[in-house]
Chains A and B, each alone.
Chain A
Amino acid sequence: MNWLAVAAIYKFEMSRWFRTLGQSIASPVISTSLYFIVFGAAIGARMGAIDGVTYGAFIIPGLMMLSILNESIGNASFGIYFPKWSGTIFEILSAPVSWGEMLLGYVGAATTKSVLLGALILVTARVFVPYEIAHPLWMLCFLLLTAASFSLFGFLIGIWADSWEKLQTVPLLVITPLTFLGGAFYSIDMLPSPWRELTFFNPVVYLISGFRWSFYGVSDVPVGYSVAAIAGFLVTCVLIARWMILSGYRLKR
């Protein structure tokens, strides 16, 4: 195992993030704050509690997921797309680095950033609404799993994308709708019949539901399903990434 290479890639990716720290942190924090002000404070004040949780508190897990998904995908996809685009990827490809080490370095760094960001949002939320975390360990576990699996997903997008447009539209076209329709702002029970059943095909529902359970002990779907769904997604992404790197798909000519 070439741990030094993993460390080199990880450090490189983290320093890239720290170089633009203000930018990396400001935009998710500002947008989440806006959500809390608008949905939590302004509208939330007129909404009843859902499953015994105030609306402002209810949307915290969903909002965190929304940010983590976007940031994970954005960070990880850029991390691998940029060297591909600029040509510096030649060095990674010519180094004694296996597919697993490459993943650990790139995806590990993106995951770290997302987890840090999640923590930051949690702290920001405190400013606007009081909340409690019922199962902190599970919360951390969901946070890590989600950050890791979506960073992996972003990594795949970064390899797949052959233009900046593709790099940006996929998260916008796929992830944002899935998150908004994934129960970030409402409980699935609140949807009328055909929509509610359809929603269960949306993988993000399982994420948000599981995550919310770790906060408030209530969920739309059984927690086991959530864990299984994330784990399954994670394994699928790893397998695809492995194939991409080994075959050189859109990495090697």
Chain B
Amino acid sequence: MSAVLQTAPRTDEAIVSIRGLTKTYANGFSALKGIDLDIRRGEIFALLGPNGAGKTTLISIVCGIVNASTGQVVADGFDNVADFRKARARIGLVPQELHTDAFETVWATCSFSRGLFGFKPDPAHIERVLRDLSLWDKRNDRIMTLSGGMKRRVLIAKALAHEPSILFLDEPTAGVDVELRHDMWNVVRKLRERGTTIILTTHYIEEAEEMADRVGVILKGEIILVEDKTTLMKKLGKRELALHLNEPLAAIPVALADLNLELQDSGSVLVYRFDAGGEATGISRLLNRLGGEGIGFHDLKTSETSLEEIFVSLVKERA
């Protein structure tokens, strides 16, 4: 059964299934208001949301760090409370905050993590993980002598020490420079290729855009959207065609008023907006009619709305 799943990594089957999850903190604050969410086996799922939306709370409950008020979490078929041993052994967590044991060496802290999760020592595995994360040279260094970005990688290495099939990354690239960020993306992609399911939260939309198969948006403790990334981009994304005109226009000609046009740069650029998902873009019709009106152009550019713009507009809508 599991062999079949490994050879066919991505399926629609849920590996993490969250039902009716709520969390009210001791101070009465309701951080999660009934979350239902399925994470599919083998996917990279990006959880987006503004500060305080409840991303960390949600992850913490799944990983057993925070008690849920109500609701249920099933990880790889095991209830995370009733069957906590089996559920947790499959989950790795990289927390948002850089909590590390300052006095331990990189090697010792990774070996500790593996043992803690009930796995026999496997130096070869730890070595592979450390090499993948470019930490091999630092293996005998104490964590306190490492930079912030390296500490972040140590936390990732710790989370991977027990070969989890589900990995939670809570803002893995916060405070990490561009180069390192790309390294991390590569690590995550490699993990996915090996069949690990990855759930990451991030504030960098480009990260979700770059990496995710599906995107979920959480706002004030509620999931307001879960969508295939490409579908989402199609559905909500607008594309633009910008024409750089030979002669600036004072106004859009009346004959073209039925089209979704806008003038920019004091009339020298004509912008046409159309649905990214639509079959007929209407570009050729537009160009024909421009020709008919005697409007010439010397350059054209198309662009797509980024996930970030989609996200901002979604959040604004709900706010």
Q: Which chain A residues have a beta carbon within 8 Å of chain B's beta carbons?
A: 2, 4-5, 7-9, 11-12, 15-16, 19, 86-88, 90-98, 248, 252-253
Contacts and interface: CB of A to CB of B under 8 A. Distances in A.
Contacts, number: 78
B88 interface: yes
B119 interface: yes
Nearest to A253: B66
Contacts of B88: 94-96
A86 B99 contact: yes
A252 B66 contact: yes
Tell me the dominant secondary structure on chain A's binding face. Answer: helix
A17 to B, nearest CB: 12
B115 A7 contact: yes
Contacts of A94: 63-65, 88, 91, 93
Contacts of B118: 2, 4-5, 95-96
Given A4-B116, A11-B115, A98-B85, 4 more contacts: A4-B115, A4-B120, A91-B116, A94-B91
Nearest to A2: B118
A2 B91 CA distance: 16
A252 B84 contact: no
B99 A5 contact: no
B100 A88 contact: yes
Contacts of B89: 96
By size class, the interface of chain B is 35 or more
A91 B113 contact: yes
B97 interface: yes
Interface of B: 25-26, 60, 63-67, 84-89, 91, 93, 95, 97, 99-104, 108, 111-120, 158
Nearest to A98: B85
Contacts of A4: 115-116, 118-120
Contact of B64 (A2, A15, A93): A93
A109 to B, nearest CB: 13
Contact of A5 (B95, B100, B111, B116): B116
25 contacts: A2-B118, A4-B120, A5-B116, A5-B118, A11-B112, A11-B115, A86-B99, A86-B101, A88-B99, A90-B93, A90-B95, A90-B99, A91-B93, A91-B116, A93-B65, A94-B63, A95-B88, A95-B117, A96-B88, A96-B89, A96-B117, A97-B116, A98-B85, A248-B67, A252-B66
B86 A96 contact: yes
A104 to B, nearest CB: 13
A8 B112 contact: yes
Interface pairs A-B: 6 shortest CB-CB: A8-B115, A87-B99, A96-B85, A96-B88, A94-B63, A2-B118
Contacts of B102: 86
B75 to A, nearest CB: 11
A246 to B, nearest CB: 10
Contacts of B84: 96
B115 A88 contact: no
A116 to B, nearest CB: 21
A19 B116 contact: no
A88 B113 CA distance: 11
Nearest to A82: B101
Contacts of B158: 91
A250 to B, nearest CB: 11
